[in-house]
């Protein structure tokens, strides 16, 4: 049997066009989210403990995602009736309404997004794709089935990407970096003249000409 090829969109690529069936009806990606940020995350299987905690975690942060004008979309290779029943179970057993759509993917779609890893069985791994308003892939994360994701990190990543669009690069653990807090890193100088001017720029704070930072614009 010929091995399945592993495919995935790369950072900066446009998200591949596809029509999918979801718990909210048929959707066309990335068209249906044009003009806003959106997060697509895959889970290994419905009615599993770790995935249930993740769905609850995402739902509990819906207001944070909405404040960032960011949509959430779940996905696995389970059939649509399984998704519907699981969402109903979460409501009945945990009293939590899952507001985001959940895609019933087939193996073709999952392979197209690199969500089926041969060494990790036949279920989708825990993938996260963050797309910008143009439908371009801006961040990708992969977790194995046995480790649940940190939803606060995904919220942070969306915030950081949006800030970097207009203000510059953000440091490690932003907005709580050990060196510069929530400040923004200025792009390193590319010539001698700019390097010398950096240290005289009163609007910046610098450790050296190649490591300068500025206040975050609220």
**DSSP reduced 3-state for 24:** coil
Q: Is 167-218 a CATH 3.30.1020.10 domain?
A: yes
Residues 43 and 110: their CA atoms lie apart, in Å, by 11
Active-site residue among 39, 51, 105, 151? Answer: 51
**What pLDDT, on a 0 to 100 scale, did the predictor assign at position 152?**
97
Please determine, for residue 125, whether its predicted confidence score (pLDDT) is greater than 60: yes
The domain 18-149 having CATH identifier 2.40.40.20: the answer here is no
Is the predicted pLDDT of residue 2 greater than 60, yes or no? no
Q: Please tell me the number of Cα atoms within 13 Å of 130 on its side-chain side.
A: 20
Please report the pLDDT score of residue 140 as a whole number.
94
Distance CA 201, CA 86 (A): 57
Mean pLDDT of 170-176: 97
Q: What is the pTM of this model?
A: 0.89
For the stretch 36-73, pLDDT in tens is: 999 999 988 899 999 999 999 999 999 999 999 999 99
Stretch 88-95: mean pLDDT: 98
Buried b (16+ CB within 10 A) or exposed e, 170-186: bbeebbeeeebeebbbb
Q: Is 51 a catalytic residue?
A: yes
Proportion of the chain in helix, strand, coil states, percent, rounded to 5: 30, 25, 45
Each domain of the chain, given as residue ranges in start order, spans 18-149, 167-218
Which of 102-106, 110-114, 167-171, 198-202 is the least confident region? 110-114
- What is residue 1's predicted lDDT score, i.e. its pLDDT? 33
- Cβ 123 vs Cβ 145: under 8 Å: yes
Looking at residue 4, its pLDDT comes to 47
Q: What is the pLDDT of residue 6?
A: 52
Contact 9, 110 (CB under 8 A): no
Q: What is the pLDDT of residue 110?
A: 73
Identical topology for domains 18-149 and 167-218: no
Reply yes or no on whether the pLDDT at 134 is more than 80: yes
pLDDT tops 50 at residue 117 = yes
- Yes or no: say if 170 and 181 are a contact pair by the CB < 8 Å rule: no
Q: How far is CA 106 from the centre of its chain?
A: 21
């Amino acid at each position: 049997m010929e091995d399945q090829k592993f495919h995935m969109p790369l950072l900066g690529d446009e998200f591949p066009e596809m029509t999918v069936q979801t718990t909210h009806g048929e959707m066309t990606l990335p068209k249906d989210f044009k003009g806003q940020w959106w997060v697509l995350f895959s889970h290994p299987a419905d009615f599993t403990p770790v995935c249930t905690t993740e769905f609850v975690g995402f739902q509990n942060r819906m207001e944070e995602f909405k404040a960032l004008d960011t949509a959430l979309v779940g996905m696995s290779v389970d059939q649509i009736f399984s998704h519907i029943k699981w969402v109903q179970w979460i409501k009945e057993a945990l009293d939590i309404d899952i507001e985001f759509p959940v895609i019933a993917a087939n193996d073709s779609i999952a392979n197209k997004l690199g969500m089926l890893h041969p060494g990790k069985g036949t279920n989708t791994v825990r993938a996260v794709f963050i797309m910008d308003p143009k439908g371009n892939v801006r961040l990708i994360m992969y977790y194995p089935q046995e480790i649940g994701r940190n939803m606060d990190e995904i919220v942070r990543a969306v915030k950081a990407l949006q800030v970097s669009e207009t203000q510059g690069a953000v440091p490690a653990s932003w907005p709580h970096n050990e060196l510069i807090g929530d400040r923004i890193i200025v792009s390193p100088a590319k010539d001698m003249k700019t390097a010398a001017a950096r240290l005289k720029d009163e609007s910046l704070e610098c450790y050296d000409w190649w490591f300068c930072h500025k206040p975050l614009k609220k």
